[in-house]
Structure 1
């Protein structure tokens, strides 16, 4: 075991969710897309070169490189985007990191927090936490189904936090003695 010791958390974590944008195109898919795009660009450029319009070859290549460069830039920036929801004994904290790396932390009193999933026809639903007249959108990086799952899980965690079930051994019914025949 290494010498790294993690400090004990101040309060126990009752719920934690990490929200990241979906990345449907992995590294292998990106390579395939780049190969297809460059092949189509070379084919288009070669066709116009055969027709005698040789300047199109350069523009076609630059266009393909620009598209690939913008896609790689978007993927790199989207990798940074993240939202972490943490419910502890006394607060619900939202840690956000946007695609540019800027961080934000929002703390909410879980007792007053009300979760609402607002349906928007033709668009992804909106998941909002409301507290005393203020509202905070959460799960903006998620798709519709993931937002529903987050709403269900966070709603259940908030409900359990507000309505705890206590197990008091003194209130339990005593065990019934069994009659044993000797």
Structure 2
């Protein structure tokens, strides 16, 4: 709440710097990019830190200004790769979330798919059966009612694109983690919805 009363100058600079970091290193979260940008600009006042939606707007402006000629093509390729991954993991009823869905993505942006499975091991076995080398990690996700829950992510390379598989239990099907920008439960896109988006690209 206190951040919103901060002067616009430094706050805006931090948002721009954070956006540049995300454009260059898409594996950074908004919080990580904000903290790095604040450190780079020697800001220690929490009131000066921009909200996620301010960083998102700065990122959108950055991509339009510096990567306009290539961003649309790269986004189309990312979505095509997402289609392939969603077809491969169709048994887990995948949903696309994140920047590749919202359109604020470049070639460095990972493709994030939600897979529904009551056991992480089932997804791990599928990856082994298909001989897909991957890395596994746990992430803390925010849910409604101020809940924070650890979930598992598998990451692998599909050509030049990184694919992150976020494994959620079936009970999460109608209660996805909160969107880091809007702070509301994410909806994600099904394969058919993504195909419709591709037709519009």
**For the superposition of Structure 1 and Structure 2, which TM-score range results when normalised by the shorter chain?**
under 0.3
Q: Which has the higher helix share?
A: 2
In the superposition, the TM-score normalised over structure 2's length comes to 0.24
TM-score normalised by the chain length of structure 1 = 0.26
